[in-house]
Chains A and B, each alone.
Chain A
């Protein structure tokens, strides 16, 4: 199968090698067409965002105002902090120039003069690698004012790297913009959407690294070619990151719609010791977990996964064998979202804390059966009641894990309802419990 984003070409990260293999011909081709044409082709290609929400890239671009006296911006989301996701770093390392070329074309299509690549702070090495690639591209005249001459066009744009500093929430697009502006990375209330009111109040498009790395091949080989790869409703290849209990963890670029079992057993080499699979999270830790006995026939694209009761997310497949302590896993996930909640919305700030607390209680052997319902109640009260989707990211794994593995969780809690706990929690709204008692 042909690889589009991470082709197996030695030293492709070196500018000369990239150019020898057809690099920057897509940009040249794009600049000879109208920006509307480019947006149209990307729309028709069916390319959907690889950052989590699988939104049509071309459609998103078309939201950018055509007539405005404000500058327009492009942000590339390389925050990559969702547990189970480690794909964008492969692009920074192995194919950075394709990302750069994709940025040039995107800037041209939406009319942006400046693009920022936001890379998570922990990725020091990949910030350096990306910066090196960018410096080389600048020196060779592919980026900045010099590109006018290089490509024989009036258009030019600048690309800068902005390094994060350790905050998962900054991957959320509006948080990313606040972070980039030098503020605390609080997500913004939407609408207005970035295309109306983004960076510094100007029209802004935000796309994931992998999404944009797909643009040059689409322009070069045509939208029809792309639209025929994998599942028609979510075409192209996807970088699947497989981690956890598999023999060969790693990133596999495969057509969308590849069977989940095929990825786990063939590409990732199956489960060590041929153990059974208890649970798989198919798209990064915030996506609904699937039971091991639910995997047969599940295809890895956004529509098929929706039908199977989960979501594609970032394509990070986390595999857990039969010996895994799911309570521990879920408590760890709950801890993560509690830690990463920015604290702006009460349901998220307080709810994630409760989820963690209740799960730790169950983990310590002090849970009772009413705790399971309580977890679902708390999760349900977060969903839909928050400014950003971290609320859902925190609630989904809990709600779906507890519901789908009810038997498993029931075996870990006492069947007796712990009245003391139940009263304390359920009557909280009516009686004033001393603060010290509620804490911990």
Chain B
């Protein structure tokens, strides 16, 4: 299946390109935009991005695999990221991790069958002072307790109206 950016997204990408003296540095932002549109980074996306930015597909793939925030498979609608690094761990990060794992029945990088949830164990997110924390997609939830997590998961499970 071919992948083409929407005209609005092409416009956004052009704005990114304008920040730099050459096109290539826009690859990170372009991949974010592609991921937003397509859900994940497919081979077709890589091809399209490479054509757009005058890069080889291998160069684009190299960028995709270097970073943890580009996904090469579709993740859940709610991508849950639990930090288990030291400051979180000291304040119950692993308990939160185990709780979410159990509740969703997922292992690290797992996705539920209905694609509503996916789970990732992440490194320090810069919330050490408000630990433990997890993020749902782009939003941080901090100073967590098991009750708060329970409540959060419940609200996310509600059918979207």
Contacts and interface: CB of A to CB of B under 8 A. Distances in A.
A32 interface: no
Contacts of A324: 90
Nearest to A268: B129
B25 interface: yes
Interface residues of B, number: 43
Interface string B2-23: 0000000000000000011110
A243 interface: yes
A87 to B, nearest CB: 9
B88 to A, nearest CB: 9
A203 B97 CA distance: 45
Contacts of A163: 28-29, 32
Interface residues of A, number: 54
A116 B19 CA distance: 9
A433 B49 CA distance: 44
B68 A179 contact: no
A330 to B, nearest CB: 9
Contact of A243 (B19, B20, B68, B131): B131
B86 A83 contact: yes
B90 A244 contact: yes
B149 interface: no
Contacts of B91: 244-245
Interface string A297-323: 000000000000000000010101000
A64 B114 CA distance: 55
Interface in B48-98: 53, 55, 59, 62-63, 66-70, 84-87, 89-91
A125 B138 contact: yes
A165 B31 contact: yes
A200 to B, nearest CB: 6
A319 to B, nearest CB: 8
Interface string A85-99: 110010000000000
Contacts of B123: 81, 83, 168, 336, 339-340
B25 A162 contact: yes
A16 to B, nearest CB: 26
A123 B91 CA distance: 21
Contact of A183 (B32, B62, B85, B126): B62
Contacts of B129: 86, 241-243, 249-251
B128 interface: yes
Interface in B21-39: 21-22, 24-29, 31-32
A184 interface: yes
B67 A165 contact: yes
B109 to A, nearest CB: 13
A83 B85 contact: yes
Contacts of A415: none
A131 to B, nearest CB: 12
9 contacts: A84-B87, A85-B126, A163-B32, A165-B69, A180-B25, A244-B90, A249-B131, A285-B86, A328-B89
Interface of A: 71, 80-86, 89, 116, 120-125, 160, 162-168, 179-185, 200, 241-245, 249-251, 281, 285, 316, 318, 320, 324, 328-329, 332-333, 336, 339-340, 342
Given A162-B25, A249-B131, A336-B85, 15 more contacts: A121-B69, A125-B140, A163-B28, A163-B29, A167-B66, A182-B24, A182-B59, A182-B63, A250-B129, A250-B130, A285-B85, A318-B128, A332-B84, A333-B86, A336-B123
